[in-house]
Amino acid sequence: MKVVIIGAVAGGATAAARLRRLNEDAEIILLEKGQYISFANCGLPYYIGGEIQSRDELLLQTPQSFYRRFRIDVRVLSEAIKIDRERKTVKIRNLADKSEYEESYDRLIYSPGAKPIVPPIKGIDRGNVFTVRNIPDTDRINEFITENSPEKAVIIGGGYIGIEMAENLYNRGLKVTIIEKAPHVIGSLDFDIACEVHKVLREKGIDLILGEGAEEIYTDEKGQTVLRTSNCTIITDMIILSVGVTPDTALAEDCGLALSPNKAVIVNKNMQTSDGNIYAVGDCVTVENLVTGVPSHIPLAGPANKQGRIAADNICSVKSEYKGSIGSAILKLFDVTVASCGINERAAKAAGLDYDKLILYPLSHAGYFPGAENISMKVLFENKTGRILGAQLVGRKGVDKRCDILAVAIRQGLTAYDLQELELCYAPPYSSAKDPVNMAGFSIVNILEGLVKQYHWHDVDSLPRDGSVTLLDVRTEGEYIRGRIDGTVNIPLDSLRDRLHELDKTKPVYVNCQSGLRSYIACRILSQNGFDCYNLAGGYRLYSAVTNEAERALKPALECGLSLN
């Protein structure tokens, strides 16, 4: 059996190694149009920032080491330029000498990955504008920084790579501005949780321009590079493009493989394309979103590696299926961790799901043990069943652990009732006897069972202030004085039972505290005394954060101290 693999990074290299482990006699040819194979592209920003000091650390394999270990014919600088499905051949161009030749195949694995999106910005084709996708990209960035000593950088796009680049350029001593066309950074998050990321970035002095796209890059009369948006101009020394990726599937389209509307290759659970002799894996394919059942493009390293293994299994007659993805992702931002899994609210609405959300701020470990930190947790769940749909977390400690647990819960179709019962490791330095994941389960079940009714930050401003409802703040008097929701009256929680006579039982009561915990207790007191009570999810902490961010978004250029047109 002869297998040709196009693309030698995550999916392709994994497939090649798995093929050899399953079939010692197969002829395996691994083609890569770049100079490097199996490199750690997720580590590229950290090499630029200096946290990974040796370039060689990014090279997980070389053609020579791959051959010694697996006896696989690895050909770098070899670009597949045509697939002939009838003849079962691949036309290849040697990029070193420009010669062309053909290779036949019994099975073909297509793993070209994705390519950076280059937006149609006037003047974008300049020597100080960079993408971050491979090792040559990082070489160019490092050379530019070393030779030109830039002081300012603009990052166009606030996704995972954009945020990582912001941190690492900051660590190189540059003043950084992020421009994001959406209302918030990191598309997998919802606005309310993304506000926490905005806060971290601004505390470090990183400027954010949200809700605006870059329109033009030019050189002014002083020879400075200027980037213009619809509302402001920014003088910068270098620009990083990080607006996302798109499947690199021109070759698949040319040979007539079935593609999705966004040009990703359509595959079945065995990673077979519409041609049974051709498999596709990695960032070029569309897979099922396990939460919604909708075909999705989820370009992540973990899924790519699994898909490469599954394609190799099926070529070697080992039954194996890729059952879908939930898009688990995590990000280091200075001393903060940002993580998500499953779907966000936009995806839940698009899928027509009947869902609600819980926001809580549990401690990373036992409060009496030194060093405990709050974790901001948002969990989406299905109203009728309690099935966990998605989670978003931000915090300094314990975020990765909780997100991984919730990712398992989502993948296995667990409900809030199941979260209550999870028996997780506990010792004071690591967790609490009721872990944050358990607490999420308890809180959601309280909602599902009708023990508490919620309202959300986006409902607050529409509540009537005409006396037909009661807006109640149960924080301490000092907290209330420092900031409050307009129209609320203050009765601290510990005084509530003695002051129930001050409230009108004929009016619904909308309660808030700082985080949602004390107001939950207040709602239990009120409900058992005949009041119709609603608890503000996430409390005043969340409400003030999102409303302040919304106000800031109205005048981003002024907030960043940038020059207006």
Report the run of H or E that residue 203 belongs to, with start and end: helix 191-203
Question: 520-559 pLDDT, tens per residue?
Answer: 999 999 999 999 999 999 999 999 999 988 777 655 544 4
Question: 167-219 pLDDT, tens per residue?
Answer: 999 999 999 999 999 999 999 999 999 999 999 999 999 999 999 999 999 99
Encoded amino acid at 215, one letter: E
The percent of residues above 70 in pLDDT, for the chain, comes to 98
Measured distance between the N- and C-terminal CA atoms of the chain, rounded to whole angstroms: 64
**Does 560 score more than 60 pLDDT?**
no
**Does 434 score more than 80 pLDDT?**
yes
Measured distance CA(555)–CA(280) in Å, rounded: 46
Measured distance CA(373)–CA(393) in Å, rounded: 13
Measured distance CA(236)–CA(227) in Å, rounded: 7
Say how many residues make up the chain: 565
Model confidence at 60, in pLDDT bands (50, 70, 90)?
Answer: confident
Predicted TM-score of the model (pTM): 0.93
Task: State residue 554's pLDDT score.
Answer: 58
Instruction: Answer yes or no: 513 catalytic.
Output: no
Our measurement of the distance from residue 266's CA atom to the centroid of its chain's CA atoms, rounded to an integer in Å, reads 23
Measured distance CA(472)–CA(466) in Å, rounded: 14
Q: Phi first, then psi: give them for residue 505, nearest 5 degrees.
A: -70, -15
In angstroms, the Cα distances linking 119 to 63, 116, 132, 133, 208 are 34, 9, 14, 15, 19
**Does 459 score more than 70 pLDDT?**
yes
**Does 322 score more than 80 pLDDT?**
yes
Across the range 363-387, mean pLDDT stands at 97
Measured distance CA(147)–CA(104) in Å, rounded: 46
Question: 4-37 pLDDT, tens per residue?
Answer: 999 998 899 999 999 999 999 999 999 999 998 8
Encoded amino acid at 344, one letter: N
Question: 219-245 pLDDT, tens per residue?
Answer: 999 999 999 998 899 999 999 999 999
Give the list of residues 6+ apart from residue 417 with CB closer than 8 angstroms, or none: 386, 441, 445
Measured distance CA(472)–CA(545) in Å, rounded: 19
The pairing of strands 73-76 and 175-180 is unpaired
Report the run of H or E that residue 69 belongs to, with start and end: helix 63-70
Measured distance CA(14)–CA(2) in Å, rounded: 17
Average pLDDT score over the chain: 94
Q: Phi first, then psi: give them for residue 4, nearest 5 degrees.
A: -105, 130
How many CB atoms are closer than 10 A to CB 535? Answer: 29
Across the range 500-529, mean pLDDT stands at 97
**Does 150 score more than 80 pLDDT?**
yes
Across the range 67-94, mean pLDDT stands at 96
Model confidence at 58, in pLDDT bands (50, 70, 90)?
Answer: confident
Give the list of residues 6+ apart from residue 5 with CB closer than 8 angstroms, or none: 12, 15, 16, 28, 29, 30, 31, 108, 109, 111
Model confidence at 565, in pLDDT bands (50, 70, 90)?
Answer: very low
Model confidence at 39, in pLDDT bands (50, 70, 90)?
Answer: confident
Report the run of H or E that residue 527 belongs to, with start and end: helix 517-527
Question: 285-310 pLDDT, tens per residue?
Answer: 999 999 999 999 999 999 999 999 99
Give the side-chain half-sphere CA count within 13 A for 119: 20
Across the range 444-472, mean pLDDT stands at 97
Task: State residue 563's pLDDT score.
Answer: 42
Quick one: tokens of 242? 């990080």
Across the range 69-76, mean pLDDT stands at 95
**Does 59 score more than 90 pLDDT?**
no
Measured distance CA(486)–CA(199) in Å, rounded: 23
3-class SS letters over 448-501: HCCCCCEECHHHHHHCCCCCCCEEEECCCHHHHHHCCCCCCEECCHHHCHHHHH
Task: State residue 41's pLDDT score.
Answer: 79
Catalytic residue among 42, 195, 255, 425: 42
Write b or e for each residue in 452-463: b if 16 or more Cβ atoms lie within 10 A of its Cβ, otherwise e.
bebbbbeebeeb
The percent of residues above 90 in pLDDT, for the chain, comes to 89
Question: 105-132 pLDDT, tens per residue?
Answer: 999 999 999 999 999 999 999 999 999 9
Q: Sign (positive/negative) of CA torsion 411, 245, 263, 305?
A: negative
Task: State residue 555's pLDDT score.
Answer: 59
**Does 561 score more than 60 pLDDT?**
no
Task: State residue 369's pLDDT score.
Answer: 96
Task: State residue 423's pLDDT score.
Answer: 97
